[in-house]
Chains A and B, each alone.
Chain A
């Protein structure tokens, strides 16, 4: 039954391996839109372990799911800044913080919060990230200067369009769930 945390841990370890980390970090868009989401996903898988281990902690501090949601959002916003990505590449301590914060402070709380959240909060989260991604897309595409020391302007523009297309996907989802009341099918 406790298989999924093991898979999550294996995924995390694989992502930490220097060749894998270097490969994904060598391109700006795969750094932010591949490595980071995969780190969060590894956390989603590992969440069960912590929930079983510390049930009291989660029920006390994350009763209605909103605190976990906030923690997740703060971590995600922090890692969408150009500055933090740059630092992860230059300062080892920040790189270590990335590999810890994304799985354990974003992935785990998200998994714990999601089933507890009302559909209002779920949609609020998606709307928030849609707006954030549009703004970031705008920033990365039309910024007149190079934002990261480690990445060229062309990579920055590519990442910007990555944000816009992800935001588009979320907009499609929001429209769909607005028209389709899924509670009838659950």
Chain B
């Protein structure tokens, strides 16, 4: 199998010559390697905890008193949702910035390192109270449940660490623009800019939330406004979800076409998708609060509309991807209405994993539309259906894309090559993961429809007949979880093998070119200041009315509760 990908064509202009000949600089490589190592250690730990939960839910394992279900669940959520995704996203995009902008500025590299240690420090602070059973508040951590203040202080450091990386990327992009007047930001850095804009603006609400929680958790103030805190949390939580999605989308548009030997989708439309996702994202947060009290019906209705609007760029993406696949396959001699698919490189894990990830987004997106609909949300809210949904979106669409990226990104930063054996391992891993997720999330969706609640340790509710009827599905959940655990072990093995033991060699950073006859992209796509302003105005439209209502007409606040 060929692991060295040939580069040619237009984007050459954008690249630093040295970068091409020698690959990534050792210092930039070290940064990305560190971020990715943490990411994959998080998936290892998180996977083990996930399996414990799965076995418990199936009634097959009783957790010991010193490590209860809710501790495990909090750690699983934080490890996978915050640590894995943040560290992978930053490691990947910093490698992308380094590659497409001709290396990171020394200042920026330093910022990314400070950010790294702030996040690690913050995470350690947050984990200590979880282990002590002082912070079993789940990764959503909003009031009225209150954890030890140390937990929230840890979160502050994580947010500050993320901001360091966001500003680092802005500085690097701005300096590149100064040196390359009149040129478009290279497409992968364009995606990175979008992602870091969202990371920064999306984490402002959660920073405000945490700063109001800390005095409350210390007991300096007695009560807190629960609705405001929840709303601020979801403005962030929802944005975070879409940040990983946008990260995965960047790979679909930019990397995958190169891996299959094709060209990428229209540059202008790609940039419009990024801009649309950046502008419209934050306001989606309310769809997590569809059955919250205290929000008037018209506001909820407006938010359903705002949420579904995000579906539009997603549909554009689906169209674009299949167009690229078909075009490439036909160029390679693919024939017939559907027969062209045979020409795609199914045996290459760098294609197979992200392809299945994209395919998984079809049912995952459909489920998302279901949940955004008021009446249907009432049926599935807080049931296992939701857990099934985000294992499909995150655990499949996003994480499998990350897996697929790791098979060239890690060799690229460690100056090694992907061997045929590891490629084969990757293909098998992809199949196991696919089966595991289909079984697990299928069972979760179904048992959720039958009423099984999420975030609940195993219980038969005094042998209630309905609760007993969930058991067969929960058993499937455990089978799927076991398969996934095998997948985790294979993936982590592949990652560290590629990082430290694979044969030395040169792996290229696969970035697809645009079609030759494409019209030049107009300049207005570069007006990030304007997009940010549009985003703020939209956020204002979405949040001013309900927030003022929550604050001015506030019910009595809530004291801190420890429910566990």
Binding site for B on A (CB under 8 A): 27, 29, 33, 154, 157-158, 161-162, 165-166, 168-170, 172-173, 176-177, 179-180, 182, 184-186
* Complex contact B181–A180 (CB within 8 A): no
Q: Which A residues lie within 8 Å of B544 (CB)? A: 29, 158, 161-162, 165
Q: Mark B271-292, 1 if CB is under 8 A from A, else 0.
A: 0000000000000000000000
Report the bound CA distance from A173 to B533 in whole Å.
6
Q: List 20 A-B contacts (CB under 8 A).
A: A27-B545, A29-B544, A157-B552, A158-B548, A158-B549, A161-B547, A162-B544, A165-B540, A165-B544, A169-B533, A169-B536, A169-B537, A169-B540, A172-B532, A172-B536, A173-B532, A176-B528, A176-B532, A177-B529, A184-B182
Q: Chain A's interface: helix, strand, loop or mixed, by majority?
A: helix
Q: Chain B's interface: helix, strand, loop or mixed, by majority?
A: helix
Report the bound CA distance from A180 to B177 in whole Å.
9
Report the bound CA distance from A154 to B528 in whole Å.
34
Least CB distance from A186 to B in Å reads: 6
Closest 6 CB pairs of A and B: A176-B529, A165-B540, A169-B536, A184-B181, A158-B548, A169-B533
Q: Mark B535-564, 1 if CB is under 8 A from A, else 0.
A: 011011100110111001100000000000
The residue in chain B whose Cβ has the minimal distance to the Cβ of A34 is B541
The residue in chain A whose Cβ has the minimal distance to the Cβ of B530 is A173
* Complex contact B536–A154 (CB within 8 A): no
The residue in chain A whose Cβ has the minimal distance to the Cβ of B540 is A165
Q: A154-B552, A157-B552, A180-B174 are in contact. Are A173 and B529 (CB under 8 A)?
A: yes
Does chain A have a CB within 8 A of B526? yes
Given A158-B548, A165-B544, A173-B532, 20 more pairs with CB closer than 8 A: A29-B545, A154-B548, A154-B552, A158-B544, A158-B545, A165-B539, A168-B540, A169-B533, A169-B540, A172-B532, A172-B536, A173-B529, A173-B533, A176-B529, A177-B529, A180-B174, A184-B181, A185-B181, A185-B182, A185-B526
Q: A172-B532, A176-B529, A177-B529 are in contact. Are A157 and B548 (CB under 8 A)?
A: yes
Report the bound CA distance from A165 to B540 in whole Å.
6
Least CB distance from B170 to A in Å reads: 10
Least CB distance from B166 to A in Å reads: 15
Report the bound CA distance from A157 to B541 in whole Å.
14
The residue in chain B whose Cβ has the minimal distance to the Cβ of A158 is B548
Least CB distance from A61 to B in Å reads: 30
Q: Which B residues lie within 8 Å of A179 (CB)? A: 174
Q: Which B residues lie within 8 Å of A182 (CB)? A: 527
* Complex contact A154–B181 (CB within 8 A): no
Report the bound CA distance from A165 to B542 in whole Å.
11
Q: Which B residues lie within 8 Å of A170 (CB)? A: 533
* Complex contact B530–A161 (CB within 8 A): no
Q: Which A residues lie within 8 Å of B553 (CB)? A: 154
Q: Which B residues lie within 8 Å of A166 (CB)? A: 537, 540
Report the bound CA distance from A136 to B164 in whole Å.
35
Least CB distance from B189 to A in Å reads: 15
* Complex contact B523–A168 (CB within 8 A): no
* Complex contact A180–B529 (CB within 8 A): yes
- Which B493-542 residues sit within 8 Å CB-CB of chain A? 523, 526-530, 532-533, 536-537, 539-541
Q: Mark B173-188, 1 if CB is under 8 A from A, else 0.
A: 0100100011000000
Q: A169-B537, A176-B528, A179-B174 are in contact. Are A186 and B523 (CB under 8 A)?
A: yes
Report the bound CA distance from A172 to B527 in whole Å.
13
- Residue from the list B177, B527, B536, B545 in contact with A168, Cβ < 8 A: B536
The residue in chain B whose Cβ has the minimal distance to the Cβ of A184 is B181
Least CB distance from A179 to B in Å reads: 7
Report the bound CA distance from A173 to B534 in whole Å.
10
Least CB distance from A15 to B in Å reads: 17
Q: Which B residues lie within 8 Å of A173 (CB)? A: 529-530, 532-533
- Residue from the list A154, A162, A180 in contact with B540, Cβ < 8 A: A162
Q: Which A residues lie within 8 Å of B533 (CB)? A: 169-170, 172-173
The residue in chain B whose Cβ has the minimal distance to the Cβ of A176 is B529
Q: Which B residues lie within 8 Å of A169 (CB)? A: 533, 536-537, 540
Least CB distance from A17 to B in Å reads: 19
Most buried by B among A33, A166, A179, A185: A185
Report the bound CA distance from A184 to B527 in whole Å.
12
Report the bound CA distance from A173 to B529 in whole Å.
6
Q: Which B residues lie within 8 Å of A162 (CB)? A: 540, 544
The residue in chain B whose Cβ has the minimal distance to the Cβ of A23 is B298
Q: Which A residues lie within 8 Å of B540 (CB)? A: 162, 165-166, 168-169
Report the bound CA distance from A184 to B532 in whole Å.
20
Q: Which B residues lie within 8 Å of A161 (CB)? A: 544, 547-548
Q: Which A residues lie within 8 Å of B526 (CB)? A: 185
Q: Which A residues lie within 8 Å of B527 (CB)? A: 182
Q: Which B residues lie within 8 Å of A185 (CB)? A: 177, 181-182, 523, 526
Report the bound CA distance from A29 to B536 in whole Å.
16
Report the bound CA distance from A165 to B545 in whole Å.
12
Least CB distance from B235 to A in Å reads: 13
Least CB distance from B232 to A in Å reads: 15
Q: Which B residues lie within 8 Å of A176 (CB)? A: 528-529, 532
Least CB distance from B344 to A in Å reads: 38
Q: Which A residues lie within 8 Å of B174 (CB)? A: 179-180
- Which B392-415 residues sit within 8 Å CB-CB of chain A? none
Q: Which B residues lie within 8 Å of A27 (CB)? A: 545
Most buried by A among B182, B540, B552: B540
Report the bound CA distance from A157 to B177 in whole Å.
42
Report the bound CA distance from A180 to B529 in whole Å.
9
Q: Which A residues lie within 8 Å of B177 (CB)? A: 180, 185
Report the bound CA distance from A20 to B130 in whole Å.
53
The residue in chain A whose Cβ has the minimal distance to the Cβ of B539 is A165
Q: Which B residues lie within 8 Å of A184 (CB)? A: 181-182
Report the bound CA distance from A27 to B545 in whole Å.
10
Report the bound CA distance from A95 to B191 in whole Å.
46
Q: Which A residues lie within 8 Å of B530 (CB)? A: 173
Least CB distance from A127 to B in Å reads: 15
Most buried by A among B533, B547, B552: B533
Q: Which A residues lie within 8 Å of B528 (CB)? A: 176
Report the bound CA distance from A61 to B552 in whole Å.
48
Report the bound CA distance from A176 to B528 in whole Å.
9
Report the bound CA distance from A182 to B178 in whole Å.
10
Q: Which B residues lie within 8 Å of A33 (CB)? A: 541
Q: Which A residues lie within 8 Å of B548 (CB)? A: 154, 157-158, 161
Report the bound CA distance from A179 to B529 in whole Å.
10
Q: Which A residues lie within 8 Å of B181 (CB)? A: 184-185
Least CB distance from A72 to B in Å reads: 19
